[in-house]
Structure 1
Amino acid sequence: MRVAVLIDGGHLRVLARKAGFKHEPDYIEKVAHACIEPTENLLRILYYDCAPYVGTTTLPVSGEPHEFTGSDHWLRDLAARNLFAVRRGVLKFRGFKPKRIPIAAKPLTDADFKPDFEQKGVDMRIGLDMANFSALKTVERLILITGDTDCIPAMKHARINGLQVALVTFPNHKIAPELLWHSDFERRIAWPAA
């Protein structure tokens, strides 16, 4: 059976870090290959994520300028690997938010706030690829790593068009039941050794 693996990078990053693993290209590749069963023939691994935010902003209390720096080298590394394709969304800076709520009565400092970022375009790209696979019939099964219920319409579309959707779950993590309702089956995998 021909398959494609679709990975929501933000979701995988959170789960891997909670489980004590480093979210980097070698480990992402190990996780992707751990999702494939011996009877399946891999067409492609699609990885969806955003490069780190780069830009200058003003700190919320002091008003001092603060520069966000980062590199997309790891995304380029991943894109160069066999059978990988990287689909990039955009990371937007939405300001600063308090680290703790309620806010303490003491005088606030910049250290009491953290940056608030929002991923844009990742879910849409996952949905478009699922729709393309449904239309072109290049695979028979989609293996999906996500925790985002925004993917449900694309999952429904794929299933209506004859593709199977396998939802990957990991140890010690509860997935939204709605995602399971709209997949054909749950594929539980153990974290690969680092």
Structure 2
Amino acid sequence: MIRSVVMIDGGHLRVLARKNKRIYDPVFIEKLAHACADPTQEALLRILYYDCAPYVGQARLPVSGAMVQFTGSGDWLRDLARRDLFAVREGVLKFRGFKPKRVPISPAALSDDDFRPDFEQKGVDMRIGLDIATYSDERLTDRIILITGDTDCIPAMKHGRKSGIQMVLISLPGQRLAPELFEHADFKRTIAWPV
């Protein structure tokens, strides 16, 4: 059996799942992760999930100046981390201000409802890259199965392949992956959404 590790870019997967009207929760993530591995040839060693807990903090609304409180819970990440074979690698979600919902904007009648909060994940790509390098350098696996759409992962994918690790890139329904990602994967595997 081929020793395999699944690595999931949670921010990327969440956007795809919501576009395809899927309920994004630990049950869904677990089903999808297990569907990525081929049980006839791959022994699944671990599932690494990379994401950020929701942002918690206050900010001033862009028009009225009123304070808004952002709340959320990372309990679902802890639930996921307790599941068999899962390890959760958390980055940090940063608040970057407000962006207009529609462009161009008309300054005549702006309200707070014309803007949405802008958040940015920090540290997730780096953690994926470090784990690919660690698993490759220490020969902890034979194959890395990757769910991402981020071309920032390409240097790590190259490193893994140079170390002799096979890279499998997962393609999901409704997803358009950057062509350069395919150039640095050994296999492309298309899977369906779990039911």
Fold equivalence (TM over 0.5): yes
Structure 1 gaps, min length 5: none
Equivalent pairs counted in the alignment come to 193
The amino acid that maps onto 2:53 is A
Q: Secondary structure at the match of 2:14?
A: helix
Superposed CA deviations along residues 168-188 of structure 1, whole A, max 9, x for unmatched, are 001232110000011001010
The amino acid that maps onto 1:176 is A
Superposed CA deviations along residues 143-175 of structure 1, whole A, max 9, x for unmatched, are 000000000000000000000000000123211
Distance in 1 between residues matched to 2:194 and 2:118, nearest whole Å: 31
Cα distance, 1:19 vs. partner?
1.2
Q: Tell me the residue number matched to 2:35.
A: 34
Q: Secondary structure at the match of 1:81?
A: coil
- Percent identity of paired positions between Structure 1 and Structure 2: 66
**Among candidates 158, 161, 184, match of residue 182 of structure 1:** 184
Cα distance, 1:104 vs. partner?
2.4
RMSD: 0.7
Distance in 2 between residues matched to 1:87 and 1:142, nearest whole Å: 16
Q: TM-score, normalised by structure 2?
A: 0.97
Structure 2 gaps, min length 5: none
Instruction: Please list, as runs of the form range in 1=range in 2, the aligned pairs for 1:1-194 lying within 5 A after superposition.
Output: 1-38=2-39, 39-193=41-195
Superposed CA deviations along residues 62-88 of structure 1, whole A, max 9, x for unmatched, are 111110000000000000101000000
Distance in 2 between residues matched to 1:171 and 1:182, nearest whole Å: 21
Distance in 1 between residues matched to 2:94 and 2:157, nearest whole Å: 26
Where do 4+ consecutive residues of structure 1 move more than 2 Å? Answer: none
